[in-house]
C-alpha cells in the first residue's frame, strides 16, 4: 500500500507530501503521524507541501486536523513551502487553516519550531522558579 514517509530529524518529524491525497492515504498518514509522534517523542512536525500545485478543501481540512492531533500529543506543526497560488485558492475556498503555523521553507519552519521549543523550556524554567 502507498504510504507517505515520515522522516525523523532530531526532535522533529518531516512529512513531504508529493502525491495527490485521497481519503485512505490521508487517514493512513494521520495514523502513521500520531504513532510516530508517540514512538519518537517528537516535539514538532514539519509538513512540506511545496510539490502541491493544488490544495482543495479536503487537504486543507486534513492539514488542520493533523496540526490539532499533533498539538494534543504535545508536538507543534508547521506547514511549509506553500505556493502563492495555493494560498490564494485556500482563502477563496474559505479555508483559513486556523491554528496551523506556516513558514516559507523547511529551514525557516525548523527555526520556528526550535524557537518555540526554547520558549516553552523557558516558561517551564520560570514556573519552577516561581513555584
Q: Least distance from C-beta 79 to its own copies, angstroms?
A: 14
The smaller minimum CB distance to its own copies, of residues 27 and 93, is found at: 27
Q: Least distance from C-beta 18 to its own copies, angstroms?
A: 5
Judged on CB neighbours under 10 Å (0-12, 13-18, 19+), 31 is exposed
Q: State the cell numbers at 110.
A: 525548523
The SS3 call for residue 87 is: helix
Judged on CB neighbours under 10 Å (0-12, 13-18, 19+), 69 is middle
The smaller minimum CB distance to its own copies, of residues 7 and 38, is found at: 7
Residues forming the site for its own copies (CB under 8 A): 3-5, 7-10, 14, 16, 18-19, 48, 50-51, 81, 105-107, 110
Q: Least distance from C-beta 31 to its own copies, angstroms?
A: 16
Which residue do the cell numbers 504513532 mark?
Answer: 35
The smaller minimum CB distance to its own copies, of residues 20 and 123, is found at: 20
- What does the DSSP 8-state code read for residue 104? S
- What does the DSSP 8-state code read for residue 19? S
Q: Least distance from C-beta 3 to its own copies, angstroms?
A: 6
The smaller minimum CB distance to its own copies, of residues 49 and 100, is found at: 49
Amino acid at each position: 500500500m502507498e504510504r507517505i514517509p515520515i522522516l525523523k530529524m532530531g526532535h522533529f518529524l518531516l512529512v513531504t507530501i508529493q502525491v495527490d491525497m485521497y481519503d485512505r492515504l490521508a487517514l493512513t498518514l494521520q495514523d502513521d503521524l500520531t504513532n510516530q509522534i508517540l514512538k519518537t517523542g517528537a516535539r514538532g512536525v514539519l509538513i512540506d507541501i511545496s510539490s502541491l500545485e493544488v490544495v482543495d478543501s479536503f487537504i486543507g481540512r486534513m492539514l488542520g486536523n493533523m496540526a490539532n492531533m499533533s498539538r494534543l500529543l504535545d508536538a507543534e506543526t508547521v506547514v511549509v513551502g506553500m505556493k502563492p497560488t495555493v494560498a490564494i485558492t485556500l482563502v477563496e475556498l474559505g479555508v483559513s487553516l486556523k491554528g496551523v503555523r506556516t513558514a516559507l521553507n523547511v529551514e525557516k519552519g525548523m527555526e520556528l519550531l526550535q524557537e518555540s521549543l526554547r520558549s516553552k523550556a523557558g516558561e517551564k524554567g520560570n514556573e519552577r522558579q516561581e513555584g
